[in-house]
């Protein structure tokens, strides 16, 4: 049997900690705020050709946290049901459970980051009830490349399109674009050229 993870108790802030907050020596973040920053950063890196493993680590850490939050509800994230956690967080788990043999290497598929980030976005939305503009752009990119060569895939595309595509949005106009060009044009269409870090309603 594996060792049980110890639960770390969160202590009530004392005078010293409150003083540090008041003077700006520390910055406080909720779990939600941390996740938004990690996910938005991962999405920005992915669209702009950032390091693939950095994208993966940010996305996987977010996904693992969100999965922990959904355990109490009994709701399994939809991508977990389809392909399983171990395929979404391959490099993250490789590091966390690293063998002592330093010659062992990781075979990492760069294309998996798109699926991971889509899983992160949909799970974040199921937990917190909204998505940021960066998350919306990511889902547009995910939908634009979904194959529709079977009834099941066409049904999946229809479901996601109804959920994530804005009214009168023509996905074909952007489907051939890549990287930063897709990101910038999609963001402009969605939010009128705002920074994209703001939160969209559910």
Quote the pLDDT of residue 42.
97
Average pLDDT over residues 110-129: 90
Average pLDDT over residues 9-32: 79
Instruction: Identify which of 53, 55, 52, 51 has the alpha carbon closest to the alpha carbon of residue 40.
Output: 55
Quote the pLDDT of residue 200.
45
CA distance linking residue 39 with residue 64, whole number of Å: 12
Q: How does DSSP classify residue 1?
A: -
Provide the residue ranges of all domains of the chain, joining segments of one domain with +.
Answer: 29-200
In the chain, % of residues over pLDDT 90: 30
Over 90: is that where the pLDDT of 147 sits? no
* Better pLDDT: 122 or 19: 122
Q: How confident is the model at residue 181 (pLDDT cuts 50, 70, 90)?
A: very high
Over 80: is that where the pLDDT of 21 sits? no
Model confidence pLDDT, tens digit, residues 158-173? 888 888 887 767 777 7
Using the CB atoms, write b or e for 145-179: b if 16+ within 10 Å.
eeeeeeeeeeebbeebbeebbeeeeebeebeeeee
CA distance linking residue 183 with residue 108, whole number of Å: 24
Structure tokens at 186: 């999609």
Phi, psi of 106 (to 5 degrees): -105, 130
Non-local CB neighbours of 45 within 8 Å, separated by 6+ positions = 51, 54, 55, 58
Q: What is the 3-state secondary structure (H, E, C) of 19-87?
A: HHHHCCCCCCCCHHHHHHHHHHHHHHHHHCCCCHHHHHHHHHHHHHHHHHHHHCCCCCCHHHHHHCHHH
Over 70: is that where the pLDDT of 201 sits? no
Instruction: Identify which of 46, 27, 26, 44 has the alpha carbon closest to the alpha carbon of residue 36.
Output: 44
Over 90: is that where the pLDDT of 28 sits? no
């Amino acid at each position: 049997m594996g060792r049980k993870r110890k639960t770390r108790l969160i202590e009530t802030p004392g005078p010293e900690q409150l003083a540090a907050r008041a003077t700006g020596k520390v910055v406080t973040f909720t779990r939600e705020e941390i996740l938004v920053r990690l996910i938005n950063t991962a999405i920005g890196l992915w669209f702009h050709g950032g390091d693939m493993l950095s994208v993966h680590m940010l996305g996987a850490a977010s996904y693992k946290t969100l999965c922990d939050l959904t355990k109490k509800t009994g709701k399994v994230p939809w991508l977990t049901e389809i392909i399983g956690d171990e395929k979404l967080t391959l490099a993250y788990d490789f590091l966390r459970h690293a063998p002592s043999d330093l010659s062992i290497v990781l075979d990492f598929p760069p294309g998996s980051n798109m699926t991971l980030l889509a899983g992160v976005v949909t799970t974040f939305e199921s937990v917190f009830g909204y998505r940021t503009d960066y998350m919306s752009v990511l889902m547009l990119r995910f939908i634009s490349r979904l194959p529709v060569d079977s009834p099941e895939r066409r049904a999946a595309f229809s479901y996601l399109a109804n959920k994530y595509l804005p009214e009168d949005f023509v996905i074909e106009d952007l489907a051939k674009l890549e990287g930063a060009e897709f990101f910038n044009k999609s963001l402009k269409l969605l939010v009128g050229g705002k920074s994209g870090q703001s939160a969209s309603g559910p």
